[in-house]
Amino acid sequence: MPLPLVALAVASFCIGTTEFVIMGLLPEVAADLGVSIPAAGLLITGYALGVVVGAPVIALATAHLPRKSVLIGLAALFVVGNLLCAVAPNYGLLMAARVVTAFGHGAFFGIGAVVAASLVPREKRAQAMAVVFGGLTLANILGVPGGTALGQAFGWRATFLAVVLIGLAAVAAIAAFVPKGVGGPPSGGIAGEVRVLRRLQVWLAMGISALASASLFTTFTYIAPILREVTGLPASSVTWVLVLFGVGMTLGNIIGGKLADWRLMPTISGALIGLIALQLVFLVSSAAAGPAVATVLVWGVLVFVMVPPLQMRVVETASDAPNLASTLNQGAFNVGNAAGAWIGGGALALGLPYAELPIVGALLSTFALALAGTSVALERRALPPATAKG
């Protein structure tokens, strides 16, 4: 594994831990700052909004700069942001620090994916992207449980200080190992980056990303009450089921990178078909512990099988100026996260039982599959018959 990819994966681990570890520390944060747990939960929403807003802003603002310098700056932003979180004296400043930190999230993964693809031969580009996203999946297995345990033992601020140390290591690794002239700066500048957004295929790829993410979060936002009330698992077991989901994500990320370098769009379509089937299976399997846990594991695999190929698809469709589109795709994932949670909550408010939420998720996966089919059909129509492969 090339050392530059390892350096990017370390930063990815830091970012993933920053984003998700707050979920396990909400009671501690709420008690320390004197706010309700639902108010503390808005720190997650604030971060997601920071990702969506910050992604295009940072991508455009740094379009003329060398990619290595941008990645170092974004990793440094996470160090400073987490340090501000650790010392924030009140809820308002903690929220501000979370939003500022999130501004670098989408841009780092978007630009990092483009840089990773440029470091390897063409036939290994999706696998290189998978290495970068591997840090994110490992954060769910190691960073989030470890950070939660650290925060519960020594206070939530200790967790953010630990992330600062990891972030400093990431900055040093990127500075030491990522080649100086890699990936840019883009020759077309800001105008070239914006110009690719006229392409329908770029928007179709981002639409698939948003719908696939919404499909997951429609149900998975409420996975804890599903596992407790429908499956009958004790609260203490839910955390370990989520760790198992993270294991599935890690496996899916590796598999997705390899499959995407072989056949890109068939991998995306096949994973979506698998997700539709799995969510329908979960309607039944959620009623018993063993089948429910097995379904969650496979769910994690299928969800992240799509991540490297979807990122690769965006980079390919915006090939001559991919940085902004690649970054916006990270925003699309987060829009899907927020929309899925909102759709799932709306369905519950209308009286849909927890056990039937997967129906809504399967429907969203079906819409994503329709977009994938449209993308392939348009691509085949644009290519000569001898070269159209789908």
Looking up residue 92, the CATH number of its domain turns out to be 1.20.1250.20
- Spatial separation of the C-alpha atoms in residues 355 and 223, rounded to whole Å: 10
**End residue of a domain, out of 185, 217, 239:** 185
| Band (383; pLDDT cuts 50, 70, 90) | low
pLDDT tier, 329 (very low <50, low <70, confident <90, very high otherwise): confident
- Look up residue 18 and give its two tokens: 């920053």
Number of compact structural domains in the chain = 2
What mean pLDDT do residues 337-347 have? 84
Percent of the chain residues topping a pLDDT of 90: 43
Nearest to 331 by CA among 319, 341, 339: 339
Claim to verify: residue 200 and residue 71 sit in the same structural domain: no
pLDDT band at 51 (very low <50, low <70, confident <90, very high): confident
Q: Distance between CA atoms of 167 and 159, rounded to whole angstroms?
A: 12
Q: What six digits make up the tokens of 104?
A: 């670098």
What is the full DSSP assignment across 143-185?
IHHHHHHHHHHH-HHHHHHHHHHHHHHHHHHHHHHS-TTTT-S
- What is the identity of the amino acid at 281? V
Asked if residue 252 and residue 152 are part of one domain, the reply reads no
Domain that holds residue 287: 186-390
Residue 298 pLDDT class (50, 70, 90 cuts)? very high
Query: Quick one: pLDDT at residue 384?
Result: 65
Cα–Cα distance between 39 and 90 in angstroms, integer? 13
166 and 204 fall within a common domain: no
Q: Which of 44, 216, 243, 213 is nearest to 138 (CA)?
A: 243
**pLDDT score of 105 more than 60:** yes
Residue with tokens 């707050």: 22
CA distance 257 to 129: 7
Q: Which residue has the higher pLDDT, 324 or 216?
A: 216
* 14-27 mean pLDDT: 83
3-state secondary structure (DSSP) of residue 230? helix
pLDDT, position 94: 95
Exposed, middle or buried by CB within 10 Å (0-12, 13-18, 19+), for 191? exposed
Q: With 50 as the cut, is the pLDDT of residue 390 above it? A: no
Other beta carbons within 10 Å of 29: 24
- Between the CA atoms of 137, 141, 142 and 144, what dihedral angle is there, to the nearest 10 degrees? 90
Average pLDDT, the chain: 87
My answer on whether 145 and 256 are in the same domain is no
278 confidence band (pLDDT: 50, 70, 90): very high
Using the structure block, give the residue that is written with the tokens 């039937």. 356
Q: What is the pLDDT of residues 193-249, one digit of tens each?
A: 778 788 899 999 999 999 999 999 888 878 878 888 899 988 778 778 878 888 999
319 and 232 in a common domain: yes
- Widest CA span in the chain: 66
Measure Cα distances from 132 to 3, 16, 110 in Å. 11, 11, 10
Confidence at 64, pLDDT banded by 50, 70, 90:
confident
User: What end-to-end distance do the CA atoms of the chain give, in Å?
Assistant: 30
Identify whether residues 274 and 165 lie together within a single domain: no
| Claim to verify: residue 211 and residue 274 sit in the same structural domain | yes
Cβ neighbours of residue 332 closer than 8 Å, sequence gap 6 or more:
206, 207, 209, 210, 213
Q: What is the pLDDT of residue 183?
A: 62
Name the nearest CA neighbour of 210 among 363, 299, 337: 337
Give the confidence band of 52 by pLDDT, cuts at 50, 70, 90.
Answer: confident
Domain boundary pick from 169, 185, 201: 185
Domain end point (choices 185, 211, 242): 185
Instruction: Judge if 271 and 215 occupy the same domain.
Output: yes
User: Is the predicted pLDDT of residue 324 greater than 90, yes or no?
Assistant: no
Asked whether the beta carbons of 289 and 235 are under 8 A apart, the reply is no
Whether 150 and 235 map to the same domain: the answer is no
> How far is the C-alpha of 299 from the C-alpha of 278, rounded, in Å?
7
Could you tell me the two tokens for 237?
């077991």
Average pLDDT rounded to a whole number, residues 5-34: 87
Secondary structure (3-state) at 232: coil
* Nearest alpha carbon to residue 67 among 36, 105, 99, 107: 107
Does 172 share its domain with 206?
no
Q: Tell me the H-state helices in the chain.
A: 3-20, 26-33, 37-61, 67-87, 91-118, 125-138, 144-154, 156-177, 189-195, 200-220, 223-225, 235-262, 264-285, 289-305, 307-317, 322-349, 357-382
User: 174 and 190 share a domain?
Assistant: no
Q: Are residues 363 and 240 in the same domain?
A: yes
The set of residues, in sequence order, having a beta carbon less than 8 Å from that of 22 and lying 6+ positions away, is: 29, 40, 43, 44, 47, 98
**Distances from the Cα of 167 to the Cαs of 141, 196, 236, in angstroms?**
18, 32, 30
